[in-house]
Amino acid sequence: MLELPLLTFDMDGVLCRPPFGINPGGSAKNSRTAAGKRDILWLTERWRYCFRRPMPGAVDGFGALQLEYRCVVVTARGEAARPLTERWFRHYFDEVPVIHMRPSWRERSGQFKARVIEELKPIAHCEDDAFTAAWVAELVDRVFVVDWPRNRSLEGSNITRIRTLREAADVLRGGTQS
C-alpha cells in the first residue's frame, strides 16, 4: 500500500482558537539558540487550553486534508496537556491524530517544532507563528500561514497565507486561493 504524503499542523491558532480569539503572535525575544524557561506559563500549561473551540473551518479542512495526506500535529503544548488535548480532538474532530508534544520547558516552542518537523520531513506545515513559520520554511517545501494581524509581515517564496485549512487543501491540489 502506498503511504500518503505527510502534512504537519500547529495546533493553537491553526486548529484551535487562541484564548479570547486573540492570537498573541511571536515575540521579539524569540531565539533559535536560547534555552527555554520554567515559568508560570509552563507551570499552568495543562489548564490554559480549557474551553477553547476549533478555528473556523478547521474541522472540515483537516478532514478534507486527511483524505489525501497523513496529518500529524506538532504542538508546543507540553506533555502535561496531552489528556486534555486528546479529549479536545475526540470531542471536536471525532478522532485523535498523531500528536507530537513538547516534552520539556527546556526547549522553546520554535526549537521544538523545527526539530520535530525536520525529523518528520513533511511536504508542508501549517503554522500561525511568524518566527516558527520562517524557520520551518527553511526545512520544508511549503508553509501555510494562517492569517493573523501579528504575522502579516511574514513573506517568503514557499510561504502561502491562508484563512482556513480548506484553502491549503485547494492549493495542494493545484487550485487557487479564494
Name all domains of the chain by residue range, CATH numbers in brackets.
Answer: 6-19+35-152+161-172 (3.40.50.1000)
3-state SS class at 171: helix
Copy the grid coordinates of residue 119: 525529523
Copy the grid coordinates of residue 140: 520544508
Residue ranges of the chain with pLDDT lower than 70? 1, 20-29, 39-49, 175-178
Q: What is the pLDDT of residue 48?
A: 66
Q: What is the pLDDT of residue 120?
A: 98
Q: What is the pLDDT of residue 108?
A: 86
Q: Tell the residue number behind the cell numbers 518528520, with chain if given.
A: 120
Q: What is the pLDDT of residue 93?
A: 97
List phi, psi (to 5°) of 124. -160, 160
Copy the grid coordinates of residue 132: 516558527
> How far apart are alpha carbons 174 and 178 in whole angstroms?
13
Q: How many C-beta atoms surround the C-beta of residue 14 within 10 A? A: 27
Q: What is the pLDDT of residue 28?
A: 47
Cβ-contact 52, 16 below 8 angstroms: yes
Length of the chain: 178
Q: What is the pLDDT of residue 46?
A: 66
